[in-house]
Copies of this chain bind each other. A is one copy, B any other.
């Protein structure tokens, strides 16, 4: 009936409880056995048994006695704080954009212990080349540690298990398969993931979005969408993709989109679209230029001065975005939206138009009052989300893989 194998062996129970306990350490950091017992709703005895195994396996370690903790509870046998062992395993979390590769090495508690970033133009490289470039970058860090998993955020469609990229605007046809090559060369698990999905994953750990239902909208070279519904990342039936950007906003005589159709939301709200309109270029042709954060910042400056092409470009972007959100909210219900990326810098200038357009197009006339916020550092969020995925994978291995 259900696809996941049911738990019924006592062996499986033990594995579940290992994961349960590891998850508590991941969630709360340093904790004593007693605290874990309460948090995980397991008896003290079980926690003792499992932690002994986890200590033996090197998954957790005993903390150095902490002054503050000791002073806290005066009477009785003092608690022994345990924590995840940072050196247990390592994740390489990365982000591939159209002109750069960025990699971070993250230890088992989630601390970044090394990072490197390089300008690379991906679109002309094949899969083998991309894989080699990544490994060369990693070697140049001269680290003593061996990573156990790569997680790489990329713009484009990925399949649900993270094994391959189905389509990407920043990779050549032959470059799509770099994950295969990378895992062959490195002998290590490789997961590729949609960049917007990684941003959403990263934000999902923020206090602000703890109720677990929100959208991350990435406004840069295209419009990305990462959804969290009820604490779970949403993905399509077969692939990562939820394509907010290619919803048809204007008819076929609208502005030209990268996808070669006309009138998509992206053709109004992406960086190139905003830049195109602000510079009064032909909306029926695609600009050659790679729009940067500075370009957008300049447009925002101009728009703040008063009406003019720059202001109108941002208004138009807001209208398109509001339309896209209205349709999305119709299918998923309404929820908070976090805007990320270059274009998101213009959120305050855009917000009125977005809301107006959203309310105009949302079903049932019901006035919507969803929260819009803005997050900075899209790239950091992509890497952060990737490292979270990697750590989750390691936790699973730690819980189920061992004896």
A residues engaging B (CB < 8 A)?
1, 3, 6-8, 10, 13, 16-17, 20, 23, 27, 42, 167, 213, 229-231, 236-239, 241-244, 246-248, 252, 259-261, 264, 323, 326-328, 330-333, 335, 360-361, 363-365
Separation of A1 and B205 alpha carbons in the complex (Å) = 11
Task: Establish whether residues A246 and B10, one from each chain, have CB atoms under 8 Å apart when the complex forms.
Answer: no
Task: Establish whether residues A236 and B42, one from each chain, have CB atoms under 8 Å apart when the complex forms.
Answer: no
Separation of A5 and B248 alpha carbons in the complex (Å) = 42
Other A-B pairs beyond A242-B331, A243-B363, A248-B326, 17, CB < 8 Å: A1-B23, A3-B230, A3-B231, A6-B16, A6-B20, A213-B237, A229-B237, A236-B333, A237-B332, A237-B333, A239-B333, A241-B333, A242-B332, A261-B363, A264-B363, A327-B327, A328-B331
Task: Establish whether residues A243 and B13, one from each chain, have CB atoms under 8 Å apart when the complex forms.
Answer: no
Task: Establish whether residues B323 and A364, one from each chain, have CB atoms under 8 Å apart when the complex forms.
Answer: no
Q: Which of B13, B237, B330, B332 contacts A13 (CB 8 A)?
A: B13
Separation of A130 and B238 alpha carbons in the complex (Å) = 42
Separation of A17 and B8 alpha carbons in the complex (Å) = 7
Separation of A1 and B332 alpha carbons in the complex (Å) = 23
Chain B residue contacts of A260, Cβ below 8 A = 365
Q: Which chain B residue shows the least CB distance to A238?
A: B333
10 nearest A-B pairs in the assembled complex, by CB-CB distance: A236-B333, A246-B363, A243-B330, A237-B333, A213-B237, A242-B331, A7-B7, A1-B23, A236-B332, A243-B363
Interface CB pairs A-B, < 8 A, 9: A8-B16, A10-B13, A13-B13, A237-B332, A237-B335, A243-B331, A243-B363, A261-B363, A264-B363
Task: Establish whether residues B27 and A363, one from each chain, have CB atoms under 8 Å apart when the complex forms.
Answer: no
Chain B residue contacts of A7, Cβ below 8 A = 7, 13, 16
Chain B residue contacts of A20, Cβ below 8 A = 6, 8
Chain B residue contacts of A167, Cβ below 8 A = 364
Residue of A10, A238, A326, A332 with most partner-chain B CB within 10 A: A332
Chain B residue contacts of A248, Cβ below 8 A = 323, 326-327, 361
A369 to chain B, nearest CB (A): 14
Q: Which of B1, B241, B259 contacts A27 (CB 8 A)?
A: B1
Task: Establish whether residues A261 and B331, one from each chain, have CB atoms under 8 Å apart when the complex forms.
Answer: no
A124 to chain B, nearest CB (A): 21
Chain B residue contacts of A360, Cβ below 8 A = 252
Residue of A27, A247, A326 with most partner-chain B CB within 10 A: A247
Separation of A241 and B231 alpha carbons in the complex (Å) = 18
Q: Which chain B residue shows the least CB distance to A364?
A: B259
Task: Establish whether residues A330 and B247, one from each chain, have CB atoms under 8 Å apart when the complex forms.
Answer: yes
A270 to chain B, nearest CB (A): 14
